[in-house]
Amino acid sequence: MTDRNAKSHHPGKEAAGRAAAELVKDGTIVGLGTGSTTAYAIKALGENVKKGLDIRAVVTSYQSEMLAIQAGIPLTSLAENPVLDIAIDGADEVDANLNVVKGGGGAHFREKVVSLSANKFIVVVDDSKISETISMAIPLEVLPCARELVQQQVAQMGGEASIRPASRKDGPVISDNGNFIMDAAFGEIPNPQEFADKLSNVVGIVEHGIFTNTDKVYIGYKDGKIELRE
């Protein structure tokens, strides 16, 4: 499992993040995802803003808000700009058809809102995230009062949902929206779109981490090379 607190430099993540940042043109509104790979894209965008690139950004988490402010990227909101030109975000697993699983950082609800508000959704990952079929546990943002009900409904679907424990405090991971993050293991998911629709019908799940709206994926390798899939 990836150590989310690791701060070490990753040439593959940086190359993927920087390649995606180059897609952001002057005068556009960009959605900024969450995570260590997107952080490289935010840094690169900040450098371009300092050189004169005129953009505004909508963030998906407190993490991306803090990074964007630090990088000097002017912020806006979906209320002011409901349609974004492009959104850039990381992922935890990418299948052969560019379906992705997100939510390793527990930010997938706002990430989904932002990605679906964008004309183009660009995913940036390192090569460890690539797999033939989706098989990792699916992150779920769940209303705290519905956690037991969600566990029962997930069990009826053949899965097992557990509350994600916080690593630096006692108790569960709480999302930026004040909800619990759970992870639901189902094994291989051969038809992510159909499965996503089923999960969307589970009462108590605010949002699940399956995204089926990716336009391009930049995959970064340890040697700094990148591959584009679209």
- Using CB under 6 A as the binding rule, the residues of this chain from 32 to 71 that contact ligand 5RP are 33-38
Q: Among 103, 159, 172, 192, which residue sits at the site for ligand 5RP (rule: CB under 6 A)?
A: 103
CA-to-CA distance for 53 and 71, rounded, in angstroms? Answer: 13
State yes or no: residue 31 binds ligand 5RP (CB under 6 A). Answer: no
Contact range with ligand 5RP by CB under 6 A, out of 20-28, 97-105, 163-171, 188-196? 97-105
Contact range with ligand 5RP by CB under 6 A, out of 24-32, 43-51, 101-109, 113-121? 101-109
Query: In Å, what is the CA distance from 38 to each residue of 42, 49, 103?
Result: 6, 16, 13
CB of 156 to ligand 5RP, least distance (A): 26
CA-to-CA distance for 29 and 223, rounded, in angstroms? Answer: 31
Using CB under 6 A as the binding criterion, the count of chain residues that bind ligand 5RP stands at 19
State yes or no: residue 108 binds ligand 5RP (CB under 6 A). Answer: yes
CA-to-CA distance for 53 and 47, rounded, in angstroms? Answer: 9
Residues in Cβ contact with 127 at an 8 Å cutoff, skipping those fewer than 6 apart: 12, 219, 220, 221, 222
* φ/ψ bin of 73: left (φ > 0), alpha (ψ from -120 to 50), beta (otherwise): beta
Q: State both tokens at 110.
A: 């706002």
State the catalytic residues: 111
State yes or no: residue 222 binds ligand 5RP (CB under 6 A). Answer: no
Contact range with ligand 5RP by CB under 6 A, out of 68-76, 100-108, 187-195, 218-226? 100-108
Q: Is 68 annotated as a binding residue?
A: no
Geometric angle at alpha carbon 181, from 65 and 4, rounded to 5°: 60
Q: Please, are residues 89 and 126 in contact by the beta-carbon 8 Å criterion?
A: no
CB of 37 to ligand 5RP, least distance (A): 3
CA-to-CA distance for 94 and 214, rounded, in angstroms? Answer: 10
- What residues are designated binding site for substrate? 34-37, 89-92, 102-105, 129
Footprint of ligand 5RP (CB under 6 A): 2, 33-38, 89-92, 102-108, 111
